[in-house]
C-alpha cells in the first residue's frame, strides 16, 4: 500500500484563501475590524525568528495586521506581564501570541505568561481557561492551533472520525492532551500513550487514526502502524545529514519512508502539521476580530439588570439609594462594550471613560438622540432629572433597548443649600447618590483650579507690568537658561498674533519687545472672576490686592460659583481635545487699554489649563438603580451658560448605544432656556441631530401658573397643590402649551411626560394629557417612575420609541448670519412670547463693539430667570406681547456665544437662613453620610 500524502501546505493555502475573503468582508462592515495580531518575543533566537517570519508572511497574505513585539533578553517577568496587560487592554489588538521558548537572562514562568494573555485574545489557545473549555467540549474560546490543525488534516482526508479508534502518542499540554480531547469530541474512541506506556507498538497498531507528538526522531516505525491508518506526525527533529549544506535535516517522530508503505494517509515533515498550525493561528485571529465586531453589532447589550424592591410609600431618596447594591463598574463597562483600556476606575462604582472610544467606534451608526426639558418649573423643580432616569430605566431594563442617560454633574452649592442634588429621586436615581452629589471624580474642582489659576496669572501679570520697566519685564518673560534664551511655543503664538515674524528673542527691536511684553490690561474692563463650588453670598463683590506687598494696586472683583465658569461651558461644548484647547486659548479675560481682547493664550495659560483639566475631559460612568448606564459630565450654569451636559459624553453614549439604541440627555430648566440653548448652541456646535423632546410637566407647576400661591423651598405646600382643583389647573395649561410650541418650532416631535405626584387625581392628570395632545404634543403620558422606577415609565418609553421613529426635519431657530439684535428678538418672540426687546445704552454700545470684533456671528445664550417665560420671575402662565429688557451683555468667546442679561442674574447663589447643612452629618461609627436628601 502506498500512502496518500496529506499536504499541509496545500490545505493551509486553501484556508488562507478563505480567511482572505473573511477579512475583506470584515473590513467592508467596519474599517476598524481589520484583524490585528501581536506576536510577542523575548530575546532573538533564530529558530523562533524563523517561525515568526512564517507567521508574519501568512498574516500579510491574508490581510491581517501583524506586529512583531520584540523585547530584549534582559526583559524581566514583570516587564513582560506589563506589556501583555497593555496588549490585553488595547481594543486595537484582536489576538496575542507569546513566542516560546522565552529567551531571557531572567527566570520567567512560561505557564504564568501564557495564562496572562486574555482568554479573549489567546489565539494560540494556550490559556488554561481555553484549554479547560476544550476539555469539556466548550469551543466558545480558542482551540490550540496545532491540535486544531491535526483535526483539520484528518478531516481533509474525507475519512469520518466518529466511531474510529484513535491513539495519541504524547501528552503535552500544547499538543497531545488537547488533540486527544478534540478527537474525543469528534466521537472517536481515544487512547493516550506516553513514554511510560507498556506495549506501545501493540497499542499503536490498533489505531485507525494515529497522532504522534512524542518529540523523538523517527520513533514510530512502519511495523507499529495499522495498515490503512491515518497518521498525523507532529514531530520536527533535526538529525545529521552530510548531504545537506547545514549538515542536518528535519524529520518527524514517524519513520516516514516506512510509514508510507503501510498507512492510508500520512503527513510529511516538513510541510504537514507546521503550515496548518500557522493557518489555525490565522483562523483564530480572524475569529477574534469577528467576535469583537459581532459584540459591537449586538442588537442589545448583555446587560444584567438590578431588580428593584419597591416600597409603598417610597422611603427617602438616600434610603432607597443605599438599599441597592451597585454593580461593579468594570462589569457594567464590559456589558456596554467598553474595553479595560478605555476605563479608569475611581473605586468600584464609578469610572472615567477614555475619549479614544470615539475613534474606535467612528464607523458605528449611532442611536437616537433625545433631549429632556421641562415647562416653567416651581422653585422645587418638577422632576426633570428623575424623569430622564425613569425613561432610560424603562427603555433599557424593561424594553431591552440600549439606552444611556447623560447628565450634568451637580454643583455642591445646591447640595448644601436648599434645592438638593440632581441624582434623580425615588426609584429613578443615579447611584451611589452621595458620590454623585459631592466630589464625584473631581471635575468641578479641576475647573475651579484652572479658572483660579488663570485669574491669579492675570492679576500677577497686571502687577508685574505696573512695577517693572520694559527691559527687565521682557528679560524676565524670556530669561536665559544656561546661557540660551528662547521663546516657548505659546509665546511664539503671541508673536504671530502681533505680526512679529521672529523666533530669536535677541533680534526683537525695543518697540517689538514692549509690544510683546506688555498686555496693558485695562483693570476697569476685566471679565474674569474667581470661582468656588459653594453658595457664598459674601463673595459676590470683594476687593483684592490689599496686602502691602501688592503696593496699593487694589481692585474690586467677585467670585462666581464654579459651574458658572466659562471653562465649564467649554468642556461641555468641545467636540474633541483639540477643539477644547483652542476654545480655552480663545477665552477673553479682559480688554487692553486700546480696547483689544486679551486672551488666556496671551497670558501663557493654555497649556497649564489643559494639564489641570486633563482628567476632566473624560465623562464619568455611573449607573441607575436598575443597573443601566449613566454618563455624567460637566455642569454649566443654565442661567448664564447653555446648561447642558457635554457633547463628548453624548457622542460616546450615542456610539456605544448603537443604531437601535437611545441616548437621553438633559437640558437645564424649561424649554425656553435649556432646550432652546441645547438646539441652537449645543447641537449647532456638535452637528448632532435630535430626534425627540421629552417635556416634563406636573400638576403642581401648572396650578402655580394658573394663579396658585407661591411655592417656596422648605415651606409646606398650599392646600390647592395637594387637593384637586381642576379650574386652577385649567388656567395654567397655557404654560404647557407654550413649551410644546417651543419644541415644535424646531420641527422635533414633543412627548409630554406628566410626572405624577402623590396628591394628583386622575381627573387632573387626564386633563393635562388631553390638552397636550390637542395642542401639538406627539403624545402625552402619565409617568410614575418616582414610585416604580422604570416600570412606571413604560408608556413614556414606548412614546419615545415611536416619536424617534417618526419623521422630523430639525432646524435651528435662527441663522448665525442675523445680527445680535435680530437673533435676540427671534428668541424673545418665538420662545418667550415677547412683543419687543429694549436695550440700555450701555448694552447698545457693547453690541457695536462685539459686532466690530466679529462676535455678532456667534449664537445667543440668553441669561433669563427660569421661573417665568418673561424676564420677571413673578409673572406666571404664558403672557404675550410683553417687553423683554436686556440690561447687560457679555461674550464668552471660548465657549462661543454672546450672553444678553435680562435682569439681575446672580452667578453666586447664597445660603438661606436654614440651609441643608443643618441636617448633614458623618456617622463616625459606620462612616456613612447622614441627612443627605
567 shares its domain with 469: yes
Smallest Cα–Cα separation from 691: which of 807, 527, 791? 807
Any idea what DSSP says for residue 690? -
124 is known as an active-site residue:
yes
852 shares its domain with 799: no
Contacts of 23 (CB under 8 A, 6+ apart): 34, 35, 62, 63, 64, 286, 289
Least confident of 604-613, 617-626, 708-717, 820-829: 708-717
Within-domain flag for 23:
no
480 shares its domain with 468: yes
260 shares its domain with 332: no
Within-domain flag for 106:
yes
551 shares its domain with 472: yes
Res. 241 pLDDT band, cuts 50 70 90: confident
**Residue where a domain terminates, one of 273, 293, 310:** 273
> What does the alpha-carbon distance between residue 589 and residue 527 come to, in Å, rounded to a whole number?
5
pLDDT at 517: 96
224 shares its domain with 338: no
How many helices (H) and strands (E) are present in the chain, helices listed first? 34, 38
Bridge partners of 772, per DSSP, are: none
661 shares its domain with 715: yes
**Residue where a domain terminates, one of 571, 586, 608:** 608
Starting at the edge strand found earlier in the chain, the sheet holding 588-592 runs 521-526, 588-592, 597-599
Bridge partners of 488, per DSSP, are: none
Any idea what DSSP says for residue 254? B
Within-domain flag for 381:
yes
pLDDT at 640: 77
pLDDT tens profile 111-144: 999 999 999 999 999 999 999 999 999 999 999 9
pLDDT at 715: 80
Residue 821 burial (CB count, 10 A): 18
**332-347 average pLDDT score:** 94
The pairing of strands 929-930 and 921-922 is antiparallel
Catalytic residue (one of 55, 327, 350, 384): 55
> What does the alpha-carbon distance between residue 153 and residue 14 come to, in Å, rounded to a whole number?
12
Summary mean pLDDT of the chain = 93
Task: Report whether 878 contacts 735 (CB < 8 A).
Answer: yes
pLDDT at 596: 94
Res. 247 pLDDT band, cuts 50 70 90: confident
Within-domain flag for 377:
yes
Any idea what DSSP says for residue 362? T
Res. 418 pLDDT band, cuts 50 70 90: low
Which CATH number goes with the domain that contains 656? Answer: 3.40.50.300
pLDDT at 757: 92
Task: Report whether 522 contacts 590 (CB < 8 A).
Answer: yes
pLDDT at 277: 94
> What does the alpha-carbon distance between residue 512 and residue 509 come to, in Å, rounded to a whole number?
5
Within-domain flag for 454:
yes
Within-domain flag for 156:
yes
> What does the alpha-carbon distance between residue 572 and residue 213 come to, in Å, rounded to a whole number?
62
Residue 483 burial (CB count, 10 A): 5
pLDDT tens profile 47-91: 889 889 999 999 999 999 999 999 999 999 999 999 999 999 898
The structural domain count of the chain equals 5
Task: Report whether 740 contacts 766 (CB < 8 A).
Answer: no
CA 783 to chain centre: 29
**Residue where a domain terminates, one of 590, 608, 626:** 608
Given CA atoms 858, 737, 799, 697 in this order, what sign does their dihedral have?
Answer: positive
The pairing of strands 36-42 and 779-783 is unpaired
Any idea what DSSP says for residue 914? S
Which CATH number goes with the domain that contains 496? Answer: 3.30.1510.10
Res. 262 pLDDT band, cuts 50 70 90: very high
Burial environment of residue 34 by CB neighbours within 10 A (0 to 12, 13 to 18, 19 or more)? middle
pLDDT at 908: 81
The three grid cell numbers given for residue 516, joined into one nine-digit string: 510683546
> What does the alpha-carbon distance between residue 272 and residue 384 come to, in Å, rounded to a whole number?
68
Residue 90 burial (CB count, 10 A): 18
pLDDT at 569: 95
Burial environment of residue 141 by CB neighbours within 10 A (0 to 12, 13 to 18, 19 or more)? middle
Q: Is the pLDDT of residue 716 over 90?
A: no
Burial environment of residue 148 by CB neighbours within 10 A (0 to 12, 13 to 18, 19 or more)? buried
Q: Is the pLDDT of residue 2 over 90?
A: no
Q: Is the pLDDT of residue 885 over 60?
A: yes
Q: Is the pLDDT of residue 918 over 80?
A: no
> What does the alpha-carbon distance between residue 151 and residue 257 come to, in Å, rounded to a whole number?
23
Contacts of 293 (CB under 8 A, 6+ apart): 26, 29, 30, 33
Catalytic residue (one of 103, 115, 122, 124): 124
Left if phi > 0, otherwise alpha if psi is -120 to 50, otherwise beta: which for 829?
alpha
Counting every residue, how long is the chain?
933
pLDDT at 46: 86
414 shares its domain with 450: no
Task: Report whether 575 contacts 565 (CB < 8 A).
Answer: no
> What does the alpha-carbon distance between residue 231 and residue 256 come to, in Å, rounded to a whole number?
10
Q: Which domain holds residue 833?
A: 820-902
48 shares its domain with 181: no
Select the more confidently predicted residue: 925 or 853: 853
Smallest Cα–Cα separation from 498: which of 590, 598, 583, 593? 598
- In which residue are the cell numbers 495498515 written? 227
H-type alpha helices, 394-469: 412-416, 433-437, 443-467
Which CATH number goes with the domain that contains 897? Answer: 3.10.410.10
Q: Is the pLDDT of residue 750 over 80?
A: yes
Res. 1 pLDDT band, cuts 50 70 90: low
Within-domain flag for 244:
yes
Buried/exposed code over 873-896 (b: 16+ C-beta within 10 A; e: otherwise): eebbbbbeebebbbbbbbbbbbbb
The three grid cell numbers given for residue 44, joined into one nine-digit string: 532573538
Q: What would the 3-class secondary structure string for 821-847 be?
A: HHHHHHHHHHHHCCCEEEECHHHHHHH
Smallest Cα–Cα separation from 341: which of 92, 657, 514, 168? 92
Q: Which long-range contacts (CB under 8 A, 24 or more apart) does 242-251 make?
A: 251/217, 251/218
CA geometry: angle at 635 spanning 629 and 639, to 5°? 135
pLDDT tens profile 606-643: 999 999 999 999 999 999 999 999 999 998 877 778 88
Q: Is the pLDDT of residue 158 over 70?
A: yes
436 shares its domain with 449: no
The pairing of strands 897-901 and 888-892 is antiparallel
- In which residue are the cell numbers 441627612 written? 931
184 is known as an active-site residue:
no
**887-894 average pLDDT score:** 94
pLDDT at 4: 93
581 is known as an active-site residue:
no
Q: What would the 3-class secondary structure string for 884-912 be?
A: EEECEEEEECCCCEEEEECCCCCCCCCCC
**145-167 average pLDDT score:** 96
pLDDT at 595: 93
Catalytic residue (one of 77, 99, 409, 623): 99
pLDDT at 299: 84
655 shares its domain with 581: no
Res. 421 pLDDT band, cuts 50 70 90: low
pLDDT tens profile 530-544: 999 998 899 999 999
Select the more confidently predicted residue: 905 or 10: 10
Within-domain flag for 3:
no
> What does the alpha-carbon distance between residue 274 and residue 218 come to, in Å, rounded to a whole number?
17
pLDDT at 419: 57
- In which residue are the cell numbers 416651581 written? 378
> What does the alpha-carbon distance between residue 414 and residue 917 come to, in Å, rounded to a whole number?
10
The pairing of strands 588-592 and 597-599 is antiparallel
pLDDT tens profile 482-512: 889 999 999 999 999 999 999 999 999 999 9
Smallest Cα–Cα separation from 354: which of 333, 370, 372, 371? 333
395 shares its domain with 537: no
Which CATH number goes with the domain that contains 108? Answer: 3.40.50.10860
Burial environment of residue 696 by CB neighbours within 10 A (0 to 12, 13 to 18, 19 or more)? buried
Res. 904 pLDDT band, cuts 50 70 90: confident
> What does the alpha-carbon distance between residue 379 and residue 414 come to, in Å, rounded to a whole number?
12
Q: Is the pLDDT of residue 420 over 70?
A: no
Which CATH number goes with the domain that contains 223? Answer: 3.40.50.720
Amino acid at each position: 500500500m502506498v500512502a496518500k500524502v496529506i499536504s499541509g501546505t496545500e490545505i493551509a493555502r486553501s484556508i488562507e484563501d478563505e480567511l482572505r475573503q473573511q477579512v475583506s468582508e470584515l473590513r467592508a462592515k467596519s474599517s476598524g475590524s481589520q484583524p490585528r495580531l501581536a506576536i510577542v518575543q523575548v530575546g532573538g533566537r533564530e529558530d523562533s525568528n524563523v517561525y515568526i517570519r512564517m507567521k508574519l508572511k501568512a498574516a500579510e497574505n491574508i490581510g491581517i495586521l501583524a506586529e512583531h513585539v520584540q523585547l530584549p533578553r534582559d526583559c524581566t517577568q514583570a516587564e513582560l506581564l506589563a506589556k501583555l496587560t497593555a496588549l490585553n487592554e488595547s481594543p486595537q489588538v484582536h489576538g496575542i501570541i507569546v513566542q516560546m521558548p522565552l529567551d531571557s537572562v531572567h527566570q520567567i514562568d512560561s505557564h504564568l505568561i501564557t495564562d496572562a494573555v486574555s482568554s479573549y485574545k489567546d489565539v494560540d489557545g494556550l490559556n488554561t481557561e481555553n484549554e479547560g473549555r476544550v476539555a469539556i467540549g466548550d469551543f466558545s474560546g480558542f482551540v490550540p492551533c496545532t491540535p486544531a490543525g491535526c483535526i483539520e488534516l484528518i478531516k481533509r482526508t474525507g475519512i469520518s472520525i466518529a466511531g474510529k479508534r484513535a491513539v495519541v502518542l504524547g501528552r503535552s499540554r500544547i499538543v497531545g492532551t488537547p488533540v486527544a480531547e478534540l478527537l474525543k469530541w469528534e466521537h472517536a474512541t481515544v487512547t493516550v500513550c506516553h513514554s511510560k506506556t507498556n506495549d506501545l507498538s501493540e497499542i499503536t497498531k490498533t489505531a485507525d487514526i494515529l497522532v504522534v507528538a512524542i518529540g523523538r526522531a523517527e520513533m514510530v516505525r512502519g511495523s507499529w502502524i495499522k495498515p490503512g491508518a491515518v497518521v498525523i506526525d507532529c514531530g520536527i527533529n533535526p538529525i545529521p545529514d552530510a548531504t545537506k549544506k547545514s549538515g542536518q535535516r528535519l524529520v518527524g517522530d514517524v519513520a516516514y519512508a516506512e510509514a508510507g508503505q503501510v498507512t492510508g494517509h500520512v503527513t510529511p515533515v516538513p510541510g504537514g502539521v507546521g503550515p496548518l498550525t500557522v493557518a489555525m493561528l490565522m483562523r483564530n485571529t480572524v475569529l477574534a476580530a469577528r467576535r469583537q465586531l459581532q459584540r459591537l453589532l449586538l442588537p442589545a447589550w448583555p446587560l444584567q439588570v438590578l431588580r428593584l424592591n419597591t416600597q409603598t410609600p417610597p422611603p427617602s431618596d438616600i434610603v432607597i439609594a443605599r438599599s441597592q447594591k451597585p454593580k461593579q463598574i468594570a462589569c457594567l463597562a464590559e456589558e456596554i462594550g467598553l474595553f479595560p483600556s478605555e476605563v479608569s476606575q475611581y473605586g468600584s462604582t464609578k469610572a472615567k471613560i477614555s475619549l479614544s472610544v470615539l475613534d474606535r467606534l467612528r464607523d458605528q451608526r449611532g442611536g437616537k438622540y433625545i433631549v429632556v426639558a421641562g415647562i416653567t418649573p416651581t422653585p422645587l423643580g418638577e422632576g426633570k432629572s428623575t424623569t430622564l432616569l425613569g425613561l432610560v430605566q424603562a427603555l433599557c431594563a424593561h424594553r431591552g433597548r440600549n439606552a444611556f442617560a447623560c447628565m450634568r454633574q451637580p454643583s455642591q452649592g445646591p447640595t448644601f443649600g436648599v434645592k438638593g442634588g440632581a441624582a434623580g429621586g425615588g426609584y429613578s436615581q443615579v447611584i451611589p447618590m452621595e458620590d454623585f452629589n459631592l466630589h464625584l471624580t473631581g471635575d468641578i474642582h479641576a475647573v475651579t483650579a484652572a479658572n483660579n489659576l488663570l485669574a491669579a496669572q492675570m492679576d500677577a501679570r497686571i502687577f508685574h507690568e505696573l512695577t517693572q520697566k520694559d527691559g527687565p519685564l521682557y528679560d524676565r518673560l524670556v530669561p536665559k537658561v544656561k546661557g540660551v534664551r528662547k521663546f516657548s511655543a505659546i509665546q511664539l503664538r503671541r508673536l504671530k498674533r502681533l505680526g512679529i515674524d521672529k523666533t530669536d528673542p535677541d533680534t526683537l527691536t525695543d518697540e517689538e519687545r514692549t509690544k510683546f511684553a506688555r498686555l496693558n490690561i485695562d483693570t476697569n474692563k476685566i471679565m474674569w472672576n474667581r470661582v468656588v463650588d459653594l453658595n457664598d453670598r459674601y463673595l459676590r463683590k470683594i476687593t483684592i490686592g490689599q496686602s502691602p506687598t501688592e503696593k496699593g494696586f487694589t481692585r474690586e472683583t467677585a467670585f462666581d460659583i464654579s459651574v458658572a465658569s466659562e471653562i465649564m461651558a467649554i468642556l461641555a461644548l468641545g467636540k474633541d481635545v483639540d477643539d477644547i484647547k483652542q476654545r480655552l486659548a480663545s477665552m477673553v479675560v479682559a480688554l487692553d487699554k486700546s480696547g483689544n481682547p486679551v486672551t488666556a493664550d496671551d497670558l501663557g495659560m493654555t497649556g497649564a489649563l489643559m494639564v489641570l483639566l486633563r482628567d476632566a475631559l473624560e465623562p464619568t460612568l455611573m449607573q441607575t438603580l436598575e443597573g443601566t448606564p449613566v454618563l455624567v459630565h460637566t455642569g454649566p450654569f443654565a442661567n448664564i451658560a447653555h446648561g447642558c451636559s457635554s457633547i463628548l459624553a453624548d457622542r460616546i453614549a450615542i456610539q456605544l448605544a448603537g443604531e437601535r439604541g437611545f441616548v437621553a440627555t438633559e437640558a437645564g430648566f424649561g424649554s425656553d432656556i435649556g432646550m432652546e440653548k441645547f438646539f441652537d448652541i449645543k447641537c449647532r456646535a456638535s452637528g448632532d441631530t435630535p430626534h425627540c423632546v421629552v417635556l416634563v410637566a406636573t400638576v403642581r407647576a401648572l396650578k402655580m401658573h394658573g394663579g396658585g400661591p407661591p411655592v417656596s423651598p422648605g415651606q409646606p405646600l398650599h392646600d390647592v397643590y395637594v387637593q384637586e382643583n381642576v379650574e386652577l389647573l385649567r388656567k395654567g395649561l397655557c404654560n404647557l402649551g407654550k413649551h410644546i410650541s417651543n419644541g415644535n418650532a424646531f420641527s422635533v416631535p414633543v412627548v409630554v411626560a406628566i410626572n405624577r405626584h402623590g396628591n394628583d387625581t386622575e381627573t387632573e392628570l387626564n386633563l393635562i394629557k388631553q390638552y397636550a395632545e390637542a395642542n401639538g404634543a406627539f403624545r402625552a403620558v402619565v409617568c410614575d417612575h418616582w414610585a416604580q422606577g422604570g416600570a412606571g415609565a413604560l408608556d413614556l418609553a414606548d412614546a419615545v420609541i415611536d416619536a424617534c421613529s417618526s419623521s422630523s426635519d430639525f432646524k435651528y431657530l435662527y441663522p448665525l448670519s442675523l445680527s445680535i439684535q435680530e437673533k435676540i428678538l427671534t428668541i424673545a418672540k418665538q420662545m418667550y412670547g415677547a412683543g419687543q426687546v429694549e436695550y440700555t445704552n450701555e448694552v447698545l454700545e457693547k453690541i457695536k463693539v462685539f459686532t466690530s470684533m466679529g462676535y455678532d456671528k456667534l449664537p445667543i445664550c440668553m441669561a433669563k430667570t427660569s421661573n417665568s417665560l418673561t424676564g420677571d420671575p413673578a409673572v406666571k402662565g404664558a403672557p404675550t406681547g410683553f417687553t423683554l429688557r436686556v440690561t447687560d451683555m457679555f461674550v464668552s468667546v471660548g465657549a462661543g456665544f454672546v450672553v444678553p442679561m435680562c435682569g439681575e442674574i446672580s452667578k453666586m447663589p447664597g445660603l438661606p437662613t436654614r440651609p441643608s447643612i443643618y441636617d448633614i452629618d458623618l456617622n463616625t461609627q459606620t462612616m456613612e453620610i447622614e441627612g443627605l436628601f
